[in-house]
């Protein structure tokens, strides 16, 4: 919208001489004596007395020092009534001189038109330019000045200021018109602009995503390449390029079996080829002589948007250090297992001798023993049995670790198995006043198992219960159930229970409960670990449920032998 700019006739005079201010007022204000003289001269020359008498005057403000002038400029700006121009004297002791004053005025209000008044003995024009710079808003007025010259400068510069502001308003009007026109055009072109903008954003995001993807791709320490259907490398990351001492682009278009394996054709076990054939991910682990390392390779198929196979992602990882560590660990395990087996055999022989000697002594072979001697021999006999069980546990766990435990698998009737275990441990439970009960499923249930090892598993579970139930009122209940294709044998006790955070540890090796309240012996912490391994070797599983203060239940699940197999 067009705005009408009112003429600005406001002038600021900055001079330390009061008479100068009066002269400017006489020259520029309407009604001044010097103004009248000028009007009369103009009328006499131009014959236009009526217009001369109606001439519009100027609004003059005075300041006697540069700082005072700056304050008036600030005040005028705050009131929204800025000065159009200022007459500034060069010398105004004791404050700023004219040049310094102008610098401050322009810093506050750059649009101010300025006339600097100077005598011939003051600054040279070059000095003023050096300090203020070239500007079309600065004119120089030499003293003594002519009245007509002052009036012309005032008229010209105030008009120039007004024209400058009008230009700004016209520019604003033009901008508003452009905005209006743009809005009108945008109504018809909005969809196109939106599509273009969305495309630009999409392209920008695509470029950014590609850059981020490439950065991520190159930051992977594994060797990553992408192969097409013809075994050509179409992309390679920085890691494989650096290893081969080339740039990633140097690998593009090369055959993968040539660059990575040094072969003239794909090898028989090529993971990429298997992925192309099966359309499934593939994993391979081998020593690659061309690269001089053990590598683990993962390949994954790539499909286009139509579901067509286009190639595979090939990830190769250097596992040489891991292979060496695994080999070293296997050797250490072998040496440990060999040591445990040898030591177990070495210990079993003297234990058997000690057991035999104690048995002879108890039988009176060496003469009659008094009660205290017989009691001591009984303790020694029990400790030898406990030591034998510990040795047996260590031997079993070592064989399991080495994969050398042999199971003599045969059909085993569960009812008979459980009865044998109860008969074996019943006297121990009775001796400790522990109630041991059994609940059997109906029917003839059979599993394919190593009978001795299953007896060992169930005996471990019952012994574990005997250790943890209280001396008086202890209860252990065994229950056999037939499920769909397996049987479950549970051993439930009324001991202190297991805390939730400890349940995941009960099958760990050398783990012993810290609430051993029952009369059973303190073991090695291997019983439950061995039981779990033996059950899993039978194709079964073992689970534990427990609640602190409410006891614990261990449940063994073993696959059933089908009915037809039992009949046969």
pLDDT in tens, 365-379: 778 888 888 888 777
> How do beta strands 435-439 and 410-413 pair?
unpaired
Position 146 scores a pLDDT of: 86
Is residue 226 within 8 A of residue 313, CB to CB? The reply is: yes
Position 54 scores a pLDDT of: 47
Q: CA 508, 459, 463 angle in degrees (round to 5)?
A: 70
- Helix ranges restricted to H, 220-268: 238-244, 248-251, 256-261
Position 229 scores a pLDDT of: 92
Position 37 scores a pLDDT of: 53
Phi and psi at 410, nearest 5°, equal -160, 160
The SS3 assignment for 24 reads helix
Residue 117 tokens read as: 């008044």
Mean pLDDT on 213-227: 86
The SS3 assignment for 309 reads strand
Phi and psi at 110, nearest 5°, equal -65, -20
Q: Which of 389, 342, 381 is nearest to 362 (CA)?
A: 381
Each residue's pLDDT tens digit, 289-304: 888 888 888 999 999 9
Mean pLDDT on 235-264: 87
Give CA–CA dist 61/21, Å, rounded: 9
Give CA–CA dist 255/263, Å, rounded: 9
Position 515 scores a pLDDT of: 47
Q: Which of 502, 423, 484 is nearest to 455 (CA)?
A: 423
Determine if residue 551 is left, alpha or beta; phi over 0 gives left, psi from -120 to 50 gives alpha, anything else beta. Answer: left
Give the 3-state DSSP-derived string for 421-442, with helices as H, strands as E and coil as C.
HHHHHHHHHHHCCCEEEEECCC
Position 568 scores a pLDDT of: 38
Cβ within 8 Å of residue 269, ≥6 positions away: 284, 286
Q: Which of 69-73, 327-331, 414-418, 559-563 has the lowest mean pLDDT?
A: 559-563
Average pLDDT, the chain: 82
Q: What is the DSSP string of 131-147?
A: HH---TTEEEEESSPPH
Give CA–CA dist 377/386, Å, rounded: 14
Position 70 scores a pLDDT of: 94
- Count other C-beta atoms under 10 Å from residue 196's C-beta: 11
Position 566 scores a pLDDT of: 46
DSSP E strands, 66-179: 85-89, 113-118, 138-142
Residue 16 tokens read as: 């330390």
Residue 86 tokens read as: 């200022």
Give CA–CA dist 232/255, Å, rounded: 5
**179: pLDDT strictly greater than 80:** yes
**356: pLDDT strictly greater than 90:** no
Mean pLDDT on 271-277: 90
Tokens 């081969």 label which residue?
Answer: 244
Give the 3-state DSSP-derived string for 382-425, with helices as H, strands as E and coil as C.
HHHHHHHHHHHHHHHHHHHHHCCCCCCCEEEEHHHHHHHHHHHH
Higher pLDDT among residues 143 and 104, named by residue: 104
Q: Which of 270, 306, 298, 296 is nearest to 282 (CA)?
A: 298
Each residue's pLDDT tens digit, 418-459: 888 888 888 888 888 888 888 888 778 889 998 888 888 898
On the CB side of 529, CA atoms within 13 Å amount to: 19
- Count other C-beta atoms under 10 Å from residue 53's C-beta: 12
- Residue 501 CA, distance from chain mean position: 29
Q: Which of 64-68, 74-78, 314-318, 338-342 has the lowest mean pLDDT?
A: 338-342
Instruction: Label residue 516 by pLDDT band (50, 70, 90).
Output: very low
Position 291 scores a pLDDT of: 81
Position 232 scores a pLDDT of: 92
Position 508 scores a pLDDT of: 74
Position 121 scores a pLDDT of: 57
Residues in the chain: 568
Is residue 535 within 8 A of residue 558, CB to CB? The reply is: yes
Position 344 scores a pLDDT of: 65
Higher pLDDT among residues 561 and 108, named by residue: 108
Higher pLDDT among residues 303 and 380, named by residue: 303
Q: Which of 6-15, 442-451, 512-521, 543-552 has the lowest mean pLDDT?
A: 512-521
Position 131 scores a pLDDT of: 86
**178: pLDDT strictly greater than 80:** yes
Position 523 scores a pLDDT of: 57
Residue 282 tokens read as: 């593939």
Q: Is the peptide bond before 144 cis (omega within 30 degrees of 0)?
A: yes
Is residue 224 within 8 A of residue 242, CB to CB? The reply is: no
Cβ within 8 Å of residue 329, ≥6 positions away: none
Give CA–CA dist 466/435, Å, rounded: 10
Q: Which of 45-59, 146-160, 266-280, 407-421 has the lowest mean pLDDT?
A: 45-59
What percentage of the chain reaches a pLDDT higher than 90? 19
**85: pLDDT strictly greater than 90:** yes
């Amino acid at each position: 919208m067009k705005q009408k700019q009112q003429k600005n006739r406001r002038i600021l005079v900055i001079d330390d001489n009061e008479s100068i201010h009066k002269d400017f007022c006489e020259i520029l204000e309407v009604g001044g004596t010097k103004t009248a003289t000028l009007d009369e001269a103009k009328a006499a020359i131009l014959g236009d007395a009526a217009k001369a008498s109606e001439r519009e005057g100027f609004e003059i403000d005075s300041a006697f020092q540069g700082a005072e002038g700056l304050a008036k400029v600030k005040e005028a700006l705050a009131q929204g009534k800025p000065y159009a121009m200022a007459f500034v004297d060069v010398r105004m002791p004791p404050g700023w001189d004219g040049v310094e004053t102008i610098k401050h005025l322009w810093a506050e209000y750059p649009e101010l038109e300025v006339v600097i008044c100077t005598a011939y003995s003051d600054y040279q024009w070059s000095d003023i330019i050096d300090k203020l710079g070239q500007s079309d808003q600065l004119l120089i007025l030499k003293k003594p000045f002519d009245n007509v010259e002052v009036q012309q400068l005032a008229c010209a510069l105030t008009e120039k200021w007004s024209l400058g502001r009008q230009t700004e308003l016209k520019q604003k009007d033009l901008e508003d018109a452009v905005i209006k026109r743009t809005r009108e055009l945008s109504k018809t072109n909005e969809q196109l602009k939106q599509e273009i903008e969305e495309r630009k954003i999409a392209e920008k995001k695509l470029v950014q995503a590609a850059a981020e993807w490439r950065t991520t791709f190159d930051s992977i320490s594994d060797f990553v390449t992408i192969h097409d259907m013809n075994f050509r490398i179409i992309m390679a990351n920085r890691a494989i390029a650096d290893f081969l001492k080339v740039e990633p682009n140097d690998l593009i278009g090369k055959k993968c079996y040539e660059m990575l394996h040094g072969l003239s054709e794909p090898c028989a076990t090529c993971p990429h080829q298997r992925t192309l054939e099966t359309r499934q991910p593939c994993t391979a682990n081998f020593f690659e002589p061309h690269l001089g390392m053990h590598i683990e390779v993962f390949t994954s198929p790539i499909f286009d948007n139509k579901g067509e196979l286009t190639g595979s992602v090939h990830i190769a990882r250097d596992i040489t250090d891991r292979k060496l560590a695994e080999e070293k660990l296997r050797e250490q395990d072998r040496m440990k297992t060999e040591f445990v087996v040898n030591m177990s055999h070495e210990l079993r022989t003297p234990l058997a001798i000690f057991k035999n000697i104690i048995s002879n002594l108890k039988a009176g072979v060496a003469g009659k023993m008094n009660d205290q001697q017989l009691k001591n021999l009984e303790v020694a006999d029990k400790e030898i049995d406990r030591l034998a069980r510990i040795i047996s546990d260590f031997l079993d766990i070592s064989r399991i670790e080495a994969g050398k435990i042999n199971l003599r698998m045969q059909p085993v009737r569960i009812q008979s198995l459980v009865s044998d275990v109860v008969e074996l441990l019943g006297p121990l439970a009775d001796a400790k006043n522990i109630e041991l009960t059994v609940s059997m499923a109906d029917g003839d249930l059979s599993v394919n198992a190593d009978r001795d090892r299953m007896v060992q598993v169930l005996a471990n579970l019952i012994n574990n219960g005997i250790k943890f139930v209280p001396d008086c009122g202890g209860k252990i209940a065994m229950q056999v159930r037939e499920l769909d294709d397996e049987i479950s044998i549970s051993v439930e006790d009324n001991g202190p229970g297991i805390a939730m955070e400890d349940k995941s540890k009960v099958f760990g090796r050398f783990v012993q409960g810290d609430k051993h309240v029952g009369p059973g012996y303190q073991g090695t912490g291997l019983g439950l670990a061995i039981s779990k391994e033996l059950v899993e070797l039978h194709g079964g599983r073992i689970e534990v449920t427990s609640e602190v203060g409410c006891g614990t239940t261990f449940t063994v699940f073993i696959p059933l032998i089908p009915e037809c197999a039992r009949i046969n």
